[in-house]
Each structure stands twice: as C-alpha cells, then as structure tokens.
Structure 1
Amino acid sequence: MRASAVTLAAGLFAASAVSAENYLGFNSGATLPDNSAKFEKDFEAEFRTAQNLVNAPGTFNAVRLYTNIQAYSEGAPIEAFQAAMKTNTKILLGVWASGVQNIDKELAALKTAVNTYGKKFTDLVIGISIGSEDLYRISQTGLINDPEGVGAGPDVIVKFIGDFKKAFANTALSSIPVGHVDTWDVWANGTNKPVIDAVDFLGFDTYPYYENGKGNSIDNAPNLFDRAYKATEAAAGGKPIWVTETGWPATGPNWDLAVPSVPNAKQYWDEIGCAKLFNKVPTFWYNLRDSNPANKMQFAITKNLSTTPLFDLTCPKVVPSSTSSAATPSQTSSGATSPSGSGSNSNTGSGSGSSSGTPTGGSNTGSGSATQGSGTPIPTGAAAGVGRISGAVYGALAVVAGGFALL
C-alpha cells in the first residue's frame, strides 16, 4: 500500500471507530507448558506483563480465556478471575463446549464467581464466547487434520448459547454480548448460519502462516488475512467481528512458504496488527506466552514474560509496501471498524480450517485437554499449528477423548 493510502485508511479507521471500545489483549489457557495448572500468581504475571509491554501500540489490558473452571479442580472458578480483578484486566470469558454433553459445570463455576466477587468481577467481563473452534473440529478439514478430534455441531452450540442466556438472565452478565469463536472458513459455511443468528458477535481465528498451497509467505500474509476476514464479514450479516486469534511464530520449522523468525513475526505485527487491527477492532493476539510444549511453532512475543518483547512493538508510521492489498475499513454494527480487502485465502489449520490445513488438528491450537478432577476436559494452552497435539493424544489424558483447547 502506498504511504498516502495508509494515511487515508488510518484516518477512516479513526473516524468510524466511535461507539465501541476496541480491546487489546492476548489469549490465556488454563495450564503452563508442563501441563501443570496455572494459579492466580501465574495469571497475574501474564496480565502485568501484557499491560507493561515496552513500546506497545496501546495498553493490552484484556484477556481471552477458554474456560471458567480452574484446572484439575472439581469445578472451582478459574483463578484468572482473581488475577484480573487485581490488575483491572478485562475478560472475554470462555465456555468450553467440545466433547461435553452439557455446560453445567462451566455455568456453575461462573455463577460461583459472580456470587463471590460481585460487581468487581462482572464489571470486567466484556464478552462471553460459548465454545472455541468446535465447528472447525467437525468440519471436513478438521476431521482430515485430526480424525479423532471432538467438536460440536451448530445445533449443540446454539443450545449451549441458550443455556447460558437462560442461566444468567437475571444477573449482571445478562447484558454482556455472547458470541462463539471459530475459524474463518467455518463462518463462511452456510450450514453454520444458525450459530451466526444466535450470537451477538463472531470470534474470528486465522493464521496465514498455515495457508499452505496458497502462497503463504510473510509478504503475502496481508492478502491471506484480508481474504479470510472478508469471507467472515460477508457471512456475519453486519454483526461485529472480534479478532480472537492471529499471529506469526518467531521460531519453528518452515510451513510451505512460511518461515518462522523474529523479523517475520515483527512484519506480521506491523502489517496485520498495526495496519488493520490494533485500536480498530477488538483484538486478542496469539500470543504473549507459549503454553504447549508439543507445539514446534512458538508464537510468544516475549520470553519468560519479559516486558521487553522479542521485537520492537512500535507501529510504523508508514506500513511497508508488502501490504499492497491491505484492507479498507468498513463499519460494523458495534461501531468499530473492520478490515476487509482482497487476497488469496485459505486454509488451514490454525485459524482457518480449509482444505489444506495442518496435519494435527483444529485450527488453533495445540493444546488439547487434560481433565479436571471431575473428568471434565481442561482447555490448556497452545498455539496453532504443526506441533499441535491431536485429539488422539489428548484422548489419553481426557475422559472426553480428543478435546482441543487453545491457549
């Protein structure tokens, strides 16, 4: 994109983002890289690092969670809630929906938190996602990538959305937007329209890195991102889109034309994050900390939760020319601007789910699920991609085999 076009786009984004707060945050799973449970101090360390990143283009004071249940507990509320209250971190709640017959334990844990912490907690909740990539896991691509992966169909997700709304109808959470997070190509699949009809916002996961066979070099990443976003936007029917996972690994093996490196992670940050997302649409970057030891690709932008990142987070005043087909802003119903544009798309496992996806599983994320003390799967952390643990592996850990979880 020429410098003049970048300037114009920036002005349009600023002019139209008038009525919705555009959150900045990261994803956070329930466990550490050794699969041990995260506790309050672990979440607090993450949240404080996120809020104090050197040269960040804004304050990363939001977090996306995957479950309300503390890892390996019998159903206690996740201790991320306490850490969020201590650090004033906003929360996109997650209700785990894959491989379960109901979400009763998730709802019970959240009700306990609401009753225990009250307004101090509920004032931090910005949204609720019922499920995470569940539709991807039962899609043709998801089953090719992981034949034993366990997800949930649109009818199940819609039912769970109804269950949540009924359970919290008379609480402080009744006015909080309820959504679902999935890969971009799932949203574009007409069979999943009942979920779009049922949600207040769409959570959008995409990783151009994994768009093998689609020209997935770092220089073409903006085109791949734009195509995925535009397809989701077309399916959304005007409903807001929150970017819930995207990023580029700093280390790991090459994936077709995609090369993990710190310079490439910086380029993706600049051309996707800075040019299209940050302070324009609600964005949860993947990621602050890597949590899946089996994932060969490492997406963390910091090492050991240092506030000095692996690369300079400063957004350039002029975006490099490789964003030649960068998105132009359009208005969503929430008032936040949304990127749209041309490009070639694709697939992929993580974040996109299309026919040429990664060999091990759903879009995102690597980590599968261990079990709670009660036998309920624990959404653990992980990055999207090759090193992801398949449902078969986690079947050995979980009573509900094949459950996936993102970081």
Structure 2
Amino acid sequence: MFFSRSAVTLVAAALASLLPGHAAAAGQLGFALGVKQPNGACKNQADYIADMEAIKSRSGSTIVRIFDAAECDVTAHMLPAAKAQGFQALLGIWPDTEDQYNNGKQAIIANGNAYKEQVHAVIVGSESLYRGTYSADQLVARMEDMRRAAPGFRYGMSDSWNKYADGTADAVVRVSDIVLINAFSYWQGASIDAAVGVFNSDIEQAVARVNAAREGRPIETWVGETGWPTEGTTYQAAVPSLANAKRYYDEGVCPMVRGGGNVFVFEAFDEPWKPDSIGDTGQAASEKHWGVMTADRSEKFGLRC
C-alpha cells in the first residue's frame, strides 16, 4: 500500500481537526522515554536532565511520555528535571495489577501535584484493551477513580489503533480529555515500502471512529506510539535497519507532524536491558534498538521535522 504526500497530510489534518481551537499549523513531536539506564538500573534526576537536553537539542521537542509513573520512582526524579528543562510529560498509570494501579495513583498524588505545569496529562492504561486486561467499562471506572483521587489533571487513554477503529474503545473515548493511538507497521509485518501507507491507514481508521464516538466534541489526539527498530529480528516482511528506521521517520512521522498531527515516537533512546517482545504471530523480536538515539544519547539520524 502506498500513500502519497497529500494523503499523509490529509490523515494528519484529520488528527489535528480533533484538537480544540484547531488551526492549520504543525503538530507536536514527542518521544517515549524509558526510566532505566542502559544497564537496567533506575535513572536519577541527572539522567533525565541529560535525556531532555539531548532530545531538545536534536529534535526541538519538549514533551515526553512515561508509561508507568511508579516505576523507578520516575515522577520524583523526572518532573524536577522537566521543570528545569522546560519540558512537559504525559504520565502513565499502569493498572494491570491492583498494586501497580495503586502505586501509580500514589505517585501522581505525591509528586504530580507539585509539578502540575509539567504534567501534560495522565494516561490510564497502556494497550489495556488490546491485551484484554480491562474492558472499556473497567477502564472508565479506573479513570473516574483517578479523577477523584487526583483532581486538576487531564486524563486519557492509550491503546492500539484497531481497538479504536472497531469501537472497543468508544466508552473510554467519550470520557477522555486526550487519546493516544498506537500504530506500528513493523508489528503488522509490513515491508518498508508499505509501512507508511499502513501507518496512515491505521490512524485514519482510528481517528474516524474517535470522531464518531465524540459526536463532534473536540479532543486532543496523538499518535501514542510509532517507530521502527534499527537492529533486531525481521518480523514477517518488516526488516530492522538504520536505513529503514530513517525512512519511516522521514516519510511517516515528520509528514504527520508537519501536517498538524501530534506524534510520540517510540522511543527516544535504545534500551539494551530489555527482554524480547512477542508479536501477534508468537514470534519473538527484540525491543532493544527502537531508539532514534543510542543508549549513550548519540543521534542515529536527523530528527528535526
């Protein structure tokens, strides 16, 4: 599947049109940020400052996404760094177990309240519908509980594009302030020649359903995760390589941002400590080399859109 530049712009415009006060302007570029050093030890405030300096100087971005607000005590270390560096962060609540949920809630209460200007939003769950951890109604209940426990933040969800497109996420979309749509052509086994077309088709379908579920009410919408590994395992027709990652970034991510869409790239830096992930086919694939920068913060290719 091939999408022309004009088709890419149309998808980006569809994303942007869901934003309050939409105007024809470039969207925002952000990066998923890990909470561990290359050796697997937890990052400290100095690590996050160095991360943000690298992200800002190479891409111009000043927004990051954290998946679990409780892991490695990230909010206590990262939010002061974000304030010092002029960054905002989306903080995730990972609610797969009761302990994980409660720990995330307490991290938001304990640290988020002191840095509200740095907290762009709180995201409850990460592909919880896709993995079957929660039903939509259960996720809504978690979000409502968070609003009561930690008022004053915007709340939203993050899930795979197909869980938006098939209506599974409708109930959560209706009560969210922000939605993150994840779409990985790599994990769909697409060749690099087809990858941008697959990505844009995914987002187009998800955005159309979000728009229908909202019934005309605007909502801030992002691509929550997308990217391409520079090393690792070939997954069906998807081949990891530096050239393919650069092409996907240049032809998929940047046109989306320039056209008005908001995109979080997965991810800022390589994470060599990570175990392999398992795709829908059951095939294992490495998640160690998804960074647009190396673990020592060296740029792999040009990141400015």
- Common fold: TM-score over 0.5: yes
* Residue 133 (str. 1) matches residue 127 (str. 2): yes
* Residue 251 (str. 1) matches residue 231 (str. 2): yes
CA distance in 2, matches of 1:182, 1:306: 28
1:304–1:106 Cα change, 3 Å: closer
* Residue 268 (str. 1) matches residue 273 (str. 2): no
* Residue 235 (str. 1) matches residue 217 (str. 2): no
Q: Secondary structure at the match of 2:80?
A: helix
Question: CA offsets, 1:53-105, max 9 Å, x none?
Answer: 1xx3xx1110101122252x6xx844111211121111111111112268333
1:155–1:20 Cα change, 3 Å: farther
Question: CA offsets, 1:159-207, max 9 Å, x none?
Answer: 11101111233xxxx2x43110111111223343221222122211111
* Residue 42 (str. 1) matches residue 32 (str. 2): no
**Residue equivalent to 2:94:** 96
Question: CA offsets, 1:141-176, max 9 Å, x none?
Answer: xxxxxxxxxx2222221111101111233xxxx2x4
1:302 paired residue among 282, 293, 296: 293
Task: Look up the equivalent residue of 1:198 and give its one-letter code.
Answer: V
Measured after TM superposition, the shift of residue 2 of structure 1 is 6.4
Give 1:367-378 correspondences, 5 Å limit: none
Q: Secondary structure at the match of 1:181?
A: strand
**Residue equivalent to 1:381:** none
**Residue equivalent to 1:208:** 185
Task: Look up the equivalent residue of 1:209 and give its one-letter code.
Answer: Y
Task: Count residues with an aligned counterpart.
Answer: 281
Question: 1:92 touches 1:127 (CA, 8 Å); kept in 2?
Answer: yes
Q: Secondary structure at the match of 2:129?
A: helix
Q: Secondary structure at the match of 1:123?
A: helix
Q: Secondary structure at the match of 1:294?
A: coil
**Residue equivalent to 2:67:** 66
Question: 2:12 touches 2:257 (CA, 8 Å); kept in 1?
Answer: no
* Residue 82 (str. 1) matches residue 80 (str. 2): yes
**Residue equivalent to 2:280:** none
CA distance in 1, matches of 2:23, 2:300: 33
Give 1:7-406 correspondences, 5 Å limit: 17-18=22-23, 22-53=27-58, 56=59, 59-71=60-72, 77-100=75-98, 103-114=101-112, 117=114, 121-138=115-132, 151-169=133-151, 174=152, 176-212=153-189, 216-237=190-211, 238=214, 239-278=219-258, 280-291=260-271, 292-295=273-276, 296-297=286-287, 298-306=289-297, 309-313=299-303, 315=305
CA distance in 2, matches of 1:193, 1:200: 13
**Unaligned segments of structure 2, at least 5 residues:** 277-285
Task: Look up the equivalent residue of 1:220 and give its one-letter code.
Answer: A
Task: Look up the equivalent residue of 1:300 and give its one-letter code.
Answer: G
CA distance in 2, matches of 1:34, 1:258: 28
Q: Secondary structure at the match of 1:258?
A: coil
Measured after TM superposition, the shift of residue 304 of structure 1 is 3.5
Q: Secondary structure at the match of 1:52?
A: helix
Task: Look up the equivalent residue of 2:194 and give its one-letter code.
Answer: N
1:200–1:228 Cα change, 3 Å: same
CA distance in 2, matches of 1:242, 1:6: 18
**Residue equivalent to 2:281:** none
**Unaligned segments of structure 1, at least 5 residues:** 139-150, 316-407
CA distance in 2, matches of 1:32, 1:198: 36
CA distance in 1, matches of 2:99, 2:274: 29
Greater shift, 92-101 or 216-225, is seen at: 92-101
State percent identity of aligned pairs: 25
Task: Look up the equivalent residue of 1:112 and give its one-letter code.
Answer: A
Q: Normalization by structure 2: what TM-score?
A: 0.81
Question: 2:140 touches 2:171 (CA, 8 Å); kept in 1?
Answer: yes
Q: Secondary structure at the match of 1:152?
A: coil
Task: Look up the equivalent residue of 2:35 and give its one-letter code.
Answer: A
Task: Look up the equivalent residue of 1:205 and give its one-letter code.
Answer: N
Q: Which has the higher helix share?
A: 2
Task: Look up the equivalent residue of 2:145 and give its one-letter code.
Answer: D
1:228–1:12 Cα change, 3 Å: closer
CA root-mean-square deviation: 2.9
Q: Secondary structure at the match of 1:44?
A: helix
Q: Secondary structure at the match of 1:93?
A: strand
CA distance in 2, matches of 1:243, 1:12: 13
Task: Look up the equivalent residue of 1:66 and give its one-letter code.
Answer: F
Task: Look up the equivalent residue of 1:167 and give its one-letter code.
Answer: A
CA distance in 2, matches of 1:91, 1:205: 17
Task: Look up the equivalent residue of 1:178 and give its one-letter code.
Answer: Y
1:264–1:165 Cα change, 3 Å: same
CA distance in 2, matches of 1:7, 1:132: 26
Q: Secondary structure at the match of 1:268?
A: helix
CA distance in 1, matches of 2:203, 2:141: 26
CA distance in 2, matches of 1:8, 1:197: 26
Task: Look up the equivalent residue of 2:231 and give its one-letter code.
Answer: T
Larger radius of gyration: 1
